[in-house]
A and B are shown apart, each in its own frame.
Chain A
Amino acid sequence: MLTNLEEHDAIVRAPDVIASVRDLKIHFRGKRGMVHAVDGISFDIRDGETLGLVGETGCGKSVTARAFLRLVQTPPGVYAGGSITFRPRRVCDDCSGVGCRECDGTGRVAAHCPACGGKGCRTCGGTGEETVDLLSIPDAQMRALRGNRIAMIFQDPGKALNPGLTVRDQISEVFLQHRTAEILAAAGVSPNDVLLRRQASQKSRAFEKMLLAVPPLRSGRNRVDAALDTMVADALAQTQIPNPRKVMDRYPHELSGGMRQRVMIAQALACNPDLLIADEPTTALDVTVQARILELIRELQQRHKTAVLYISHDLSLVRRVCDRVMVMYAGRVAETATSQQLFRRPTHPYTRGLLGALPGRGAHRGRLAAIDGTVPELVDPPAACRFVGRCPDEVAACSRTDPPMVEIEPEHAAACFVHAPPGKAAATRPVRTP
Chain B
Amino acid sequence: MVDASLSRPPVRRAPVETAARVRLRRTLELTGRVLSDPTTVIGLVIIILMLAMALLAPVITTPNVPDPYQMPRDWGAVRMPPLTEGHLLGTTNNGGDVLYGVIWGARTSLYLSLLVVSITVVVGTIIGSIAGFLGGRFDNVLMRIVDVFLSIPELIFALAIAAVLGPSFANIVLALAVTFWVKYARIMRAQIIRVKQNDYVDAARVIGDSKLRIYFKDILPNSITPVMVQATMDMGHVVLVGATLAFIGLSEAGIAEWGVLVSEGQAGISSGRWWASTFPGLMVFLWALAFNLVGDGLRDALDPRTEGR
Asked if A and B touch directly (CB within 8 angstroms), the answer is: yes
Partner-B contacts on A (CB < 8 A): 31, 56-57, 76, 287, 313-316, 354, 357-359, 368, 370-375
Q: Is B6 within 8 A of A354, CB to CB?
A: yes
Q: Is B6 within 8 A of A375, CB to CB?
A: no
Cα(A316)–Cα(B6), bound, Å: 12
- In this assembly, does B3 line the interface, its C-beta being within 8 Å of a C-beta of chain A? yes
Q: List 27 A-B contacts (CB under 8 A).
A: A31-B36, A56-B9, A57-B6, A57-B7, A287-B1, A313-B3, A313-B6, A313-B7, A314-B3, A314-B6, A315-B3, A315-B6, A316-B3, A357-B3, A357-B5, A357-B6, A358-B3, A359-B2, A368-B5, A370-B10, A371-B9, A372-B12, A373-B9, A373-B12, A374-B9, A374-B11, A375-B9
User: Counting chain A CB atoms within 10 Å of each CB, which of B3, B36, B308 scores highest?
Assistant: B3
Cα(A334)–Cα(B194), bound, Å: 44
Cα(A371)–Cα(B9), bound, Å: 7
Residues of chain B contacted by A76 (CB below 8 angstroms): 308
Interface range on chain B: under 10, 10 to 19, 20 to 34, or 35 or more? Answer: 10 to 19
Nearest chain B CB to A377 CB, angstrom units: 14
Nearest chain B CB to A394 CB, angstrom units: 16
Residues of chain B contacted by A357 (CB below 8 angstroms): 3, 5-6
Nearest chain B CB to A213 CB, angstrom units: 40
CB-nearest residue of chain A relative to B11? A374
Nearest chain B CB to A335 CB, angstrom units: 15
Q: A57-B7, A287-B1, A372-B10 are in contact. List 9 more A-B contacts (CB 8 A).
A: A56-B9, A313-B3, A358-B3, A368-B2, A368-B5, A370-B9, A372-B12, A374-B9, A374-B11
Cα(A258)–Cα(B294), bound, Å: 46
Q: Which 10 A-B pairs rank lowest in CB-CB distance, beginning with the nearest? A: A313-B6, A357-B5, A370-B10, A57-B7, A56-B6, A314-B3, A313-B7, A359-B2, A373-B12, A370-B5
Residues of chain A contacted by B6 (CB below 8 angstroms): 56-57, 313-315, 354, 357
CB-nearest residue of chain A relative to B12? A373
Q: Is B5 within 8 A of A57, CB to CB?
A: no
Cα(A56)–Cα(B8), bound, Å: 8
Residues of chain B contacted by A315 (CB below 8 angstroms): 3, 6
What 0/1 pattern do residues 5 to 38 of B give for CB contact below 8 A with A? Answer: 1111111100000000000000000000000100
CB-nearest residue of chain A relative to B33? A31
Nearest chain A CB to B2 CB, angstrom units: 5
Cα(A374)–Cα(B13), bound, Å: 10
Cα(A302)–Cα(B2), bound, Å: 29
Residues of chain A contacted by B8 (CB below 8 angstroms): 57
Which one, B1, B9, B11, B36, contacts A314 given CB within 8 A? B1
Nearest chain A CB to B3 CB, angstrom units: 5
Cα(A57)–Cα(B7), bound, Å: 5
CB-nearest residue of chain A relative to B308? A76
CB-nearest residue of chain A relative to B1? A314
CB-nearest residue of chain A relative to B8? A57
Residues of chain A contacted by B5 (CB below 8 angstroms): 357, 368, 370-371
Nearest chain A CB to B40 CB, angstrom units: 16
CB-nearest residue of chain A relative to B36? A31
CB-nearest residue of chain A relative to B2? A359
Cα(A315)–Cα(B36), bound, Å: 42
CB-nearest residue of chain B relative to A369? B5
Cα(A429)–Cα(B1), bound, Å: 39
Cα(A281)–Cα(B296), bound, Å: 38
What 0/1 pattern do residues 180 to 210 of B give for CB contact below 8 A with A? Answer: 0000000000000000000000000000000
CB-nearest residue of chain B relative to A389? B12
Residues of chain A contacted by B308 (CB below 8 angstroms): 76
Residues of chain A contacted by B7 (CB below 8 angstroms): 56-57, 313
Nearest chain B CB to A156 CB, angstrom units: 14
Cα(A76)–Cα(B8), bound, Å: 24
CB-nearest residue of chain B relative to A358? B3
Nearest chain B CB to A354 CB, angstrom units: 7
What 0/1 pattern do residues 265 to 309 of B give for CB contact below 8 A with A? Answer: 000000000000000000000000000000000000000000010
